[in-house]
Structure 1
Amino acid sequence: MKQQRGLSLIFALLALLALSLGAVALVRSVDSGTTVLGNLGFKQETVASTERATQTAIEWLAANATALDTDNTAVGYYASATDNLDATGQLSSNNSRVLVDWNGDTCAYASGTVTGKCTLAARTVASAGATEPVTLRYAIFRLCSATGAPTATGNSCAAPANSGAGVANDKGSLDYSKPAPLTGTAQGTYYRIVVQAVGARSTSSITETIVQF
């Protein structure tokens, strides 16, 4: 009887140990799941908040339609497309990349070497967020090859074409060998709005919007 009671105690202790380990694993699993859900929530909030900065940038473009041929770095506006722009700072293999100094810390967010490439400023427009503060910044790039008027010699700007049928020589006839010519007239210029939103736990999101003015 004494030997049986001793074995029962050992088995009971082993069972208790197994239950304890299972409980610890369950707690850690629940904690990890909560952390992941929380991070996703913060990420979604930063993405949703970027719309406010985008709208602010669009309003600025509309209010300054006559002054868009030159850079205005104080408000994060650039009158050319800025080739090799690396807004996220992840293209460390591109030796000619150009970075946006989103946080005013000499592009500390970027991977790799950034010396001499952190040349673009952004505009901080607002702090927004339903539950936590979200800092919003934007930079606007006119999709032109150079500053100056879009129609200036040597300048090429991205713009939609407004195509319309021209006058054919044989009016009213259906002759595929003599199609009516198409005429194209550029309507406005494209602008690229890049927005960064930084929320709780340093959660960061970057969005890009193309608009036409």
Structure 2
Amino acid sequence: MRQRTFLTGIWRHAAPRARQAQQGMTLIFALITMLALSMAAVALIRSVDTGAGILGNLSFKRDTLLAADTAMRSGVAWVAARSGKLELQTDQPGGYYASYFARFDPVGHSTDPQRTVVDWDGDNCKAAKANGVGTAACIVPSDVISLRGGALKARYVIERLCDKPGNMLTTTMICTKPMVTIVNSMVKGEISYQSAPPPGAPALQQFFRITVRTQGARNSTSFTETIVHF
């Protein structure tokens, strides 16, 4: 009888210790689980923030591209107002150049020391020269075009696609010319299938390249290039 009582006492004494050990292990696993959930929550928050930032940047980029189209049309209007006039045969203030630049670097990231860069910021091409690469020329673009109440700003450069200024009908000048005769049309997007001109007949159309840089919110910047002819 004493032995039974003694064993019962041992069992009663050992049971609380086992329960305490189980509770300790449960607490450890609970802490590990909470830590893992916390890390997952932090990662999720960062992922959401990054996604929102990317969407925001894409939205700002889209705005600058849309604004670039407006600035490009301003350049087209400038050329159209002078089509057929002697002004287009020489460089003009406001970002017009009567010949193209063979090593044109509108973005300013080229490593060619003979490149031609654009003074987009009005600081003598400081940003383009900061990378230690030389430049052959720093050309001046158009005046700033403010859009959407000044939230977006654009400037453009117009190049006539000829190797030098002057009359494009001279024999010493090389200009971009169409492969076939192109008839001017007021229909947007029309394609002409006119026959080619006879040998030696000059093409009277002049081609121009309009390069636009647009800046918007959060330093979002877009560059566009458009080829037009008159």
- Please give the TM-score of this superposition, normalised by the length of structure 1: 0.83
The reply to whether residue 68 of structure 1 matches residue 88 of structure 2 is yes
Measured after TM superposition, the shift of residue 8 of structure 1 is 1.5
- Distance of aligned partners of 1:100 and 1:114 in 2 relative to their CA distance in 1, 3 Å threshold: farther
Give the counterpart of 1:187 among 197, 204, 217. Answer: 204
Residue type of the alignment partner of 1:90:
H
- Distance of aligned partners of 1:141 and 1:76 in 2 relative to their CA distance in 1, 3 Å threshold: same
Asked if the contact 2:125/2:138 (under 8 Å) is kept, the reply is no
Write out aligned runs for 1:6-155 (5 A): 6-65=24-83, 66=85, 67-72=87-92, 74-92=93-111, 94-110=112-128, 112-129=131-148, 133-155=151-173
- CA distances 1:67-125 after superposition (whole Å, capped 9, x unpaired): 111101x2000001122111111221x22111111111232343733545342111134
- Richer in helix (by share): 2
- Distance of aligned partners of 1:4 and 1:22 in 2 relative to their CA distance in 1, 3 Å threshold: same
Measured after TM superposition, the shift of residue 187 of structure 1 is 2.8
Q: Which residue of 2 aligns with 1:210?
A: 227
The 1-side partners of 2:162 and 2:122 are apart by 26
Query: What is the CA RMSD across the aligned residues, in angstroms?
Result: 2.2
Residue type of the alignment partner of 1:75:
G
Residue type of the alignment partner of 1:52:
T
Q: Which residue of 2 aligns with 1:173?
A: none
Residue type of the alignment partner of 1:208:
E
The 1-side partners of 2:24 and 2:196 are apart by 99
Asked if the contact 1:164/1:182 (under 8 Å) is kept, the reply is no
- Distance of aligned partners of 1:140 and 1:85 in 2 relative to their CA distance in 1, 3 Å threshold: same
- Distance of aligned partners of 1:164 and 1:185 in 2 relative to their CA distance in 1, 3 Å threshold: farther
The 1-side partners of 2:221 and 2:88 are apart by 29
- Richer in strand (by share): 1
The 2-side partners of 1:116 and 1:165 are apart by 41
The 2-side partners of 1:48 and 1:187 are apart by 32
- Distance of aligned partners of 1:64 and 1:105 in 2 relative to their CA distance in 1, 3 Å threshold: same
The 2-side partners of 1:107 and 1:187 are apart by 35
Gap regions ≥5 residues in structure 2: 1-18, 182-193
Same amino acid, percent of matched pairs:
40
Range 54-63 or range 113-122, more displaced: 113-122
Measured after TM superposition, the shift of residue 129 of structure 1 is 4.2
Q: SS at the partner of 1:187?
A: coil
Asked if the contact 1:135/1:199 (under 8 Å) is kept, the reply is yes
| Max Rg structure | 2
Q: How many residues align?
A: 196
Q: SS at the partner of 2:89?
A: coil
Measured after TM superposition, the shift of residue 53 of structure 1 is 0.6
Range 149-158 or range 189-198, more displaced: 149-158
